[in-house]
Amino acid sequence: MRVGVEKKYQRLIEFLLLEDGKTLEDVAKILRISKQALHAEIRKMEIDFEKRSARWFAMHFGVPQLASPDWLLEQRGKTTLRGLAKKLGVSVSFLKNQIQRLGLDPKDFKRRSSQSIIVRCAWCGAPIIVPKPSRLKKQKHFFCSREHLGKWLARNRSKRAALYDKEAVDEFIRENWKIMSDEKMAEQLCMSTETIKRRRRKLGLKRR
């Protein structure tokens, strides 16, 4: 195959490198071209490896179960992160990162306690484990991922005030301030960035 590949091969290259878990060496062998020729083609295509999907990581590391959130959602409450990582033969850190890539929260993957109850995601209806029933007094709607929370809020902006009280907002900030910017938390909660900054600082959570 020549360096200037046809468009159909460009789509194949992009799929293999960003979705199917293949490395540059793998793709060069599949297309029967040199790595140098493949590098030249990738530069022209402007492929961004930062956009590798969750599926790519699942396929590359041989854990196809982690290619979509469906299987993971079934595991919540059945085992711990460490137990699940051992079962899959991957590290805990890889599993945490993959869970986040799929838009889920690693904190949801805990063995279900005798006090925990199951509620439904207000957006998609997926089951969610709530560790303590008392949380139902603070929060009226629950979500299986930050993505679904954002979608629900976008559709129900007028209901923002009814969704969380101050304690629930504080809890959301404590759980997410290390992995989300103030701007992102503000967007998810439909609040101003200044309000989130003020509440975060009041909680003693300082950014460097």
pLDDT tens sequence across 99-150: 989 888 887 777 655 566 778 888 888 877 776 777 777 677 888 877 787 7
pLDDT digits 0-9 by tens, 77-107: 777 888 899 999 999 999 999 998 988 888 7
Residue 2 has pLDDT above 50, yes or no: no
CB 14 within 8 A of CB 25: no
pLDDT value at residue 117: 77
Q: What is the DSSP letter of 177?
A: T
Q: How sure is the predictor about 55, in pLDDT bands with cuts at 50, 70 and 90? A: very high
> How far is residue 23 CA from its own chain's centroid?
23
Which residues fall within 8 angstroms of residue 168, CB to CB, at 6 or more apart? 138, 139
Residue with tokens 């949801």: 108
pLDDT value at residue 1: 41
Residue 69 has pLDDT above 90, yes or no: no
- Write out the H or E segment, with its range, that includes residue 154: helix 146-155
Q: What's the predicted TM-score (pTM) here?
A: 0.52
Structure-token pair, residue 64: 């196809």
Please calculate the CA angle 126-128-129 and round it to the nearest 5 degrees.
160
